Structure 1
Amino acid sequence: MCGICGIFLLKTGANADRELLQRMNRTMVHRGPDDEGYYVAGSVGLAMRRLSIIDLTTGKQPICNEDESLWIVFNGEIYNYPELREDLIARGHTFKTRSDTEVIVHLYEELGERCVEPLNGMFSFAIWDNANRKLFLARDRLGIKPLFYSFIPGKALYFGSEIKAILKAPVPRNPDYQGLYDYLSLMYIPTPATAFESVKKLPPGHVLSCDAHGINIRKFWDVPLPALGDENSSNKDYEEEVLHLIQTAIKRQMISDVPIGALLSGGLDSTTVAAVMSRKLGMPLHTFTIGFDRKSYDESQEARLVAQTLGTDHLEQIVHPGMIESIPELLTFFDEPFADYSAIPTFLVSRLAAQHVKVVLTGDGGDEVFAGYPTHVAYRVSRLFRIIPRWVRNGIITPAVMALPTSLERISFDYKAKRFVTGAELSLEQGHYWWKVIFNEEEKRSLCSPGFLENGFRDSFHSFETHFEACRHAHPLNRLLYVDTKTFLLDDNLAKVDRMTMANSLEARVPLLDHEIVERVALMPPHVKSRGLQTKRLLRRAVRKLLPPEIRKGKKKGFTPPLPFWIQKELRGFLEDLFSEKRLAQCGMLDRKECRRILHEHLTGKKDNNRQIWTIVALICWLEKYA
């Protein structure tokens, strides 16, 4: 695991600036505090920061092939590298290290740009192909590892694991206004955009090649979705197959030359991972969790039960806002506005874990693979709701629901009920998007300043619409899972886990996103994954012999802090200062009166605006730093 960055100058005779490369690389010391490495030759420069996990002594980067015509910098882990290495040795390749990085170089010799196809792992890497004067970039299938780039036609390509590295290069810093507009609806900026017009995310499952003629981006993988009615519907034991796939993936991802542990929320996904790890480790597993002082948000008791059942070496910490030295500083790890406030506890549990291990396995991705979100059930309930006569729906039910008193508890009944009735009349696509939206189009017209709105924007639903269109042939549930994988999982959940663990020099692995699991479950019948009101039906049944019933049948919570209460108390002073007339006026993008109304409404208990408030907070912090 590490951070990578690089330069490729397109003009004949141009020489890459080593000092610039060093400045880019040193913005990511947190990603790799153990070592740094450079390759600079003519117009190209590659650099990396290393967090040593495998082959601690000889695995330094950049790494080359036998004749030094290929050079690589690599971020991630290739879990099947021992098998690939044996095959390459049998084919006559000579290895200088035991690292997984060197395997990729030799695969490129054999397969060229198809070298990504045999890889099982999480990765982003860059290969300089000197013979063909070409730079080749690749990102793993699900986007577990980040990779950003900036291409200036006719001049240069810059890339990095984080945006901050690229911003050290001479690239334009103009904001991407459409990206910022979409952020206000989604609390993240959807791929391939970033907050900067000149910087892009390489989409997951894609490769990029760059030579003197320009760049070419190509998809090498996607989630396989059968057409509606063509799903695998045999009577075979899906549960046994899924359990075998999970056990295989976890065993494969436990490879490490340093201490390893697990983040344990107490929910089904992380508990499944910890249970399998405990059985395979042969010694007490290190597990880490955090808790909160409000019951509806706290899973520490469930995590403690799991730890006792599995016999793990368990550490937990109760979180409060005072444990964060600087919220704006924490948000800068994303380099663009990012408003999923579960980043706070993710940062803190990562800091706790990093004091004891260098690698953790997590349960991330289970909801998108196994249908774990309430929205994966809501589309079926909305169809039943629309059977009720319209006059009853609109004249009785909806007014009654909207009159429910506001609760600040975690995913409260009034929140779910209000969200449901306001979106129940929408199409499958629009309804699913509605559950995700922070500010809708009408609300953004009130929130944004007239000057900002003059830029003109397309509806932010477009970022979902393109993915829905790509899977229009599939079953409704599979379409929802596909879109969640391309949006929330990618740009929110995986981005959060990567930045917050790497901020603490901790490697996080996500075995439930092993692409063999993703591919196989995607082809299974939808009713096996979710039926009636039950989420994760397949996973719950597959692991029923491994987990306590309280966990297997429990409801989803996760590392979500009681922010609605913190806003009213511990964070009130910070927010009143941030929402001051002066600071809002300086940011220029938002309507000051509307922002203060939203905050006042929450502080007085009239409405739970915690997600809207945090979306504004992250934007202001980014604008103050970059714009």
Structure 2
Amino acid sequence: MCGICGFVSFAGWSPAMLQAMNEVIFRRGPDGEGSLHSGTVGLAMRRLAIIDVAGGAQPVYNEDRSVAVVFNGEIYNYRSLREGLRARGHEFRSNSDTEVLVHLYEERGADLVRELEGMFAFALWDSRKEALLLARDRLGIKPLFIAQLAGGVLFGSEIKSLLTTGLVSRELDRQALDQFLTYTFIPAPRTIYRAITKIPPGTTVTIGPRGEASARCYWEVPDPQAVQRTPAEWAERVEAGLLRAVESHLVSDVPVGAFLSGGVDSGLMVAMMAAATERPVETFTVGFAEAGSSFMDERVYARMIAQRYRLNHHEINVEPRVTDIIQDIVAAFDEPFADDSVIPSYYVSQAAARFVKVALTGLGGDELFGGYRRHLGVRVGDAYRGVPRWLRERVVDPIIRRLPEPRTSSDLVDHL
């Protein structure tokens, strides 16, 4: 994880302000920092070194230094992109994935994002056009916030970088608050602050020499109905795609491990990791010592997977003390969220950091493949609507309303 921040200014914003924006995101990149302040533009970043540890310092420039970029993320197809760019005459000064961005931009402009496979947020300055290009990956894995002010435009990986300038109003966005209470998170482009927005996933924003900003969506979820395949063909393509994704995520110059929950998603992921690497995969599972904890203890399932695939498995047994860590969590997120899984994630990340610098997770598997009860409810709901209305209202609904609330954290009654 790295972090970027900066601005385009028409009010003489200083290098000291840029440095302050960068310092508040130190935890995102303890391995190094870099910055560019020239005329109206300021770019800065904090680096967590993963690829080309020794030579990947940022900002990164093209051959004549007319294009500069700060980058957060990883480009998984950077090696093939670099080979093509070199064959077409581009000169590289490092082995980092970041450097492909400036050379791709020379050829394709803002359309360079269409060539990228990975997770990313970056800010690229074109000094000849006096234009700043901000871009976010297709699914919005990497965050990027922006505030358009009278004196210029601020951007950053975290909201705190923008707030620390003292230029941004902290007035709450009441519509965003309503969305949070409805969805338990705040969808893009809103944030909890009226003056700050999220750049949506799959979007680029170009800021011109007079401060004019234009946003463009460069990717949308493909329509699965556009291609007709049998279930067996889809299964084969999904398996091949997952394996390719896992293998691409293992490209790193530092140790890579995995969080293993014992579920299907992380279990499948580490099985593919084990098949793609020669050394035993370092895996981590958290368990809670406190009796009656509301968090599910998944260690028994994780042990079965670890034994099956000969993993170098670590179990972290903790007694959760939310009061000890809540300030760190709140400071990291910058705006309201309602996912208590951040607590076990905090503990397992803390423990894993002693062994590896990068850890893969199975997050997103349930969303992609309908693994939650609410997804089952969509299918059951279609059948339930076929039940006569009088039977639903007079028999089924009254029974459900009389069910007692569980003493555990189970949400089964709520789903019913």
Fold conserved (TM > 0.5)?
yes
Partner of 1:384: 383
Letter in 2 for 1:8: V
Residue 353 of structure 2 is matched in structure 1 by 354
Provide Cα deviations, 1:488-526, integer angstroms capped at 9, x if missing partner. Answer: xxxxxxxxxxxxxxxxxxxxxxxxxxxxxxxxxxxxxxx
Residues 231/372 of structure 1: CA separation in 2 closer, same or farther (3 Å cut): farther
Over 3 Å counting, the alpha-carbon distance change for 1:187 and 1:99 in structure 2 is same
- Match of residue 43 from structure 2: 46
CA contact (8 A) 2:22 2:44 kept: yes
2:221 to 200, 217, 223: 223
Measured in 2, the distance between the counterparts of 1:128 and 1:410 equals 49
Task: After TM superposition, give the deviation of residue 323 of structure 1 in Å.
Answer: 6.4
1:193 CA displacement: 0.5
In the TM superposition, 1:97-112 aligns within 5 A as 97-112=94-109
User: Are residues 1:7 and 2:4 paired?
Assistant: no
In structure 1, C-alpha distance between the alignment counterparts of 2:234 and 2:391, rounded to whole Å: 42
Q: 1:388: Cα distance to partner?
A: 2.3
- Please state how far the C-alpha of 1:237 moved relative to its aligned partner: 2.8
Aligned pair partner of 1:273 in 269, 274, 288: 269
Whether the aligned pair in 1 keeps the contact of 2:50 and 2:253 (CA below 8 Å) is yes
Q: How do 1:232-243 and structure 2 match up within 5 A?
A: 232-234=228-230, 237-243=233-239
Partner of 2:186: 189
1-structure distance, mates of 2:300, 2:232: 37
Residue in structure 2 matched with residue 453 of structure 1 by the alignment: none
2:136/2:201 contact within 8 Å kept: yes
Q: Structure 1 residue 299: deviation in Å? A: 1.2
Q: Percent identity?
A: 45
1:144 aligns with 2:141: yes
8 Å Cα contact 2:50/2:254 also seen in 1: yes
Q: Tell me how large the CA RMSD over aligned residues is.
A: 1.7
Shift of 1:231: 5.0
Distance, in Å, in 1 between the alignment partners of 2:211 and 2:157 is 24
Does the 8 Å contact 1:16/1:40 carry over to 2? no
Q: Which amino acid aligns with 2:60?
A: I
Instruction: Determine helix, strand or coil for the equivalent of 1:237.
Output: helix
Q: Deviations over 1:96-144 (max 9, x none)?
A: 1100000011000010000101100000000010000001000000000
Report the alpha carbon displacement of residue 315 of structure 1 after superposing the two structures with TM.
1.0
User: Which runs of 4 or more aligned residues in structure 1 lie more than 4 Å from their structure 2 counterparts after TM superposition?
Assistant: 293-296
Residue 213 (structure 1) shift: 4.5
Residue of structure 2 equivalent to 1:312: 311
CA deviations 1:233-257 (Å, max 9, x no partner) are 4465322222111111111110011
Q: Is the 8 A contact 1:73 1:126 kept in 2?
A: yes
1:183-582 equivalence runs, <5 A = 183-211=180-208, 212-226=210-224, 232-234=228-230, 237-292=233-288, 293-294=291-292, 297-322=296-321, 325-417=324-416
User: Are the counterparts in 2 of residues 16 and 41 from structure 1 also a CA contact under 8 Å?
Assistant: no
* Contact 1:297-1:409 within 8 A present in 2 as well: no
How far 1:336 moved relative to its partner?
Answer: 0.8
Contact 2:373 2:415 in 1 (8 A): no
* Counterparts of 1:96 and 1:7, CA distance in 2: 26
Q: Is 1:87 aligned with 2:114?
A: no
Partner in structure 1 of residue 114 of structure 2? 117
Contact (CA 8 Å) 2:260, 2:266: kept in 1 or not?
A: yes
Unaligned runs of 5+ in 2: none
Give secondary structure in 2 for the equivalent of 1:321.
Answer: coil
In structure 1, the partner of 2:156 is 160
Q: 2:64 aligns with which of 51, 62, 67?
A: 67
Please, which moves more after superposition, 288-297 or 182-191?
288-297
- Cross-structure match for 1:24: 21
Contact kept in structure 2, 1:36 and 1:48, CA below 8 Å: yes
Contact 2:153 2:211 in 1 (8 A): no
* Count of residues in Structure 1 that have an aligned counterpart in Structure 2: 411
How much has 1:340 moved relative to structure 2? 1.0
- Which shifted more, 287-296 or 90-99? 287-296
TM-score by length of 1: 0.64
The offset of 1:411, in angstroms, is 3.1
* Cα distance, 1:300 vs structure 2: 1.4
The amino acid across from 1:379 in the alignment is V
**TM-score, L = length of structure 2:** 0.95
**Whole-Å Cα distance in 2 between the matches of residues 34 and 218 of structure 1?**
33
CA contact 2:177–2:192 (8 Å) conserved in 1: yes
Tell me the distance in 1 between the aligned counterparts of 2:25 and 2:264.
33
Q: Classify the secondary structure of the residue corresponding to 2:42.
A: strand
Q: Secondary structure at 1:297's aligned position in 2?
A: coil
1: CA distance between counterparts of 2:69 and 2:252? 21
| 1:82 counterpart letter in structure 2 | R
Report the CA distance shift for 1:240/1:383 in structure 2 as closer, same or farther (over 3 A): closer
Partner of 2:53: 56
Q: Distance in 1 between matches of 2:334 and 2:251?
A: 31
Structure 1 gaps of 5+ residues are 418-627
Alpha-carbon contact 1:150-1:199 (below 8 Å) kept:
yes
Any conservation in 2 of the 1:5–1:25 contact (CA below 8 Å)? yes
* Residue in structure 1 matched with residue 177 of structure 2 by the alignment: 180
Equivalent-residue separation in structure 1 for 2:275 and 2:55 (angstroms): 31
Q: Distance in 1 between the 2:231 and 2:38 partners?
A: 59
Q: Which amino acid aligns with 1:197?
A: R
Preserved contact between residue 15 and residue 41 of structure 1 (Cα < 8 Å):
no
CA apart distance, 1:332: 2.1
In structure 1, distance between residues paired with 2:230 and 2:269: 28
Contact kept? 1:16, 1:42, Cα under 8 Å: no
Contact 2:145/2:197 (8 A) holds in 1: yes
Tell me the distance in 2 between the aligned counterparts of 1:215 and 1:16.
Answer: 19
- The CA distance in 2 between the partners of 1:329 and 1:179, in whole Å, is 23
The 2-side partners of 1:225 and 1:219 are apart by: 16
Larger relative strand fraction: 2
Q: CA deviation at 1:23?
A: 0.5
Report the CA distance shift for 1:236/1:312 in structure 2 as closer, same or farther (over 3 A).
Answer: closer
How many Å separate the matches in 1 of 2:402 and 2:2?
Answer: 51
